[in-house]
Amino acid sequence: MNKLSSIAVALAASTLMIMSSCETATEVTPPLVTVNPSADVTAAPGEALTYQMLINSDTELKTAEVTATSNSTVLFTADTTFVAGLDAAIINFSFNVPATMASGSVIKLDFTASNGATTTVTRTVNVTIPAGEINTYTAVIMSDLENPNGSSFYSIEDNHLMKLSEAIPVSSEVDLIYYYGVTNKASLCAPADKTVEEFQGKDNTSIVKKFTTRNNTKLGKVTMTTAAFDAITDDVAIKSNAPATDKLFTSATTLAKGDIIWAETDVTAKKALIKVVDITGTSSTSIITIEVKVQK
């Protein structure tokens, strides 16, 4: 009997060990996360966005986090640790789209909550630069700088052509000068350009050095068809075709019919596209006809 009892006890212990080893830890159900607005949004650079994160959990909440990224670059992150015993929370979250974001950029917002298990809900912000109004000026005819009777000076914003005698008193308004050079040929330049200083008036002194203010207009040729230029009705194409900083200068030289030049005024930073409609003559007899589309 003793021997049988010992065998029974041993079997019972073995069974207990097997049953214990089969038991698993209780699984934690991830929290339920709801984010409003529930759809992806479109926003402009600098625009403020507001979200609400609703969290519910069967067990005690631990943490919550919001992260904004674009092309794997973290733009913003914020997190919180909940007090003990909390199983539900509402978090209001505000986010400003960086003013430097380019049109077409995509921002991913990840809303994460944890109670030991983790739930992440993602919202997408599609960054779009809103269209702005433009002015279109056609048949702007400029004469070579050495033509004493011609209008060689131009205000982009005001569509104001000026002769030298008219430009000197209002030099702060002059954005562009036209000249036809030996090397540079047909050229549009800023009053601050160094090459244009070489051109002298009847008094044998530099024409532009007579200006009290010499605006530093930025210029750069862009690749665009004349048909694409003609189709522009707002400033989206103007902004999206801005050349890189190292491709901007104080002049656009060796111009030809059909060329498109991007421009930015000095003081007001108004951006424009300029189409070369025609160029006739050389040196002091040269005339350029341009068409301008500029931000209002």
Residues 154 and 248 in one domain: yes
The CA-based angle 224-42-131, given to 5 degrees, is 40
Per-residue model confidence (pLDDT) at position 240: 85
> Looking at the domain assignment, is residue 225 inside a domain?
yes
Q: Give the domain extent around 36.
A: 32-127
> Looking at the domain assignment, is residue 25 inside a domain?
no
Residues 278 and 162 in one domain: yes
The CA-based angle 9-10-11, given to 5 degrees, is 90
Q: Is the pLDDT of residue 7 over 70?
A: no
> pLDDT tens digits for 249-285?
999 999 999 999 999 999 999 999 999 999 999 999 9
For residues 269 and 280, the answer to whether their CB atoms sit within 8 Å is no
> pLDDT tens digits for 70-107?
998 999 899 999 999 999 999 998 989 988 887 788 99
The CA-based angle 160-162-167, given to 5 degrees, is 110
Domain closes at, from 127, 144, 178: 127
> pLDDT tens digits for 140-169?
999 999 998 899 999 999 999 999 999 999
Per-residue model confidence (pLDDT) at position 127: 84
For residues 180 and 156, the answer to whether their CB atoms sit within 8 Å is no
How many domains does the chain divide into?
Answer: 2
Residues 204 and 59 in one domain: no
**Mean model confidence pLDDT for the chain:** 89
Residues 149 and 287 in one domain: yes
Residues 79 and 168 in one domain: no
Residues 216 and 279 in one domain: yes
> Looking at the domain assignment, is residue 226 inside a domain?
yes
Per-residue model confidence (pLDDT) at position 176: 98
Domain closes at, from 101, 127, 153: 127
Per-residue model confidence (pLDDT) at position 44: 86
Residues 91 and 210 in one domain: no
> pLDDT tens digits for 182-229?
999 999 999 999 999 999 988 889 999 999 999 999 999 999 999 999
Tell me the CATH number at 77: 2.60.40.10
Residues 143 and 252 in one domain: yes
Residues 122 and 138 in one domain: no
Percent of the chain residues past pLDDT 90, beyond the cut: 74
Other residues' Cβ atoms within 10 Å of the Cβ of residue 254? 12
> Looking at the domain assignment, is residue 240 inside a domain?
yes
Residues 266 and 174 in one domain: yes
Per-residue model confidence (pLDDT) at position 25: 55
> pLDDT tens digits for 14-39?
333 333 344 455 788 999 999 999 88
Q: Is the pLDDT of residue 137 over 90?
A: yes
Comparing C-alpha atoms, which of 194, 174, 188, 187 is closest to residue 266?
174
Residues 253 and 275 in one domain: yes
> Looking at the domain assignment, is residue 254 inside a domain?
yes
Domain closes at, from 96, 127, 158: 127
HSE-up of residue 211 (Cα within 13 Å, Cβ side)? 27
**Mean pLDDT score, 171-189:** 97
Residues 41 and 149 in one domain: no
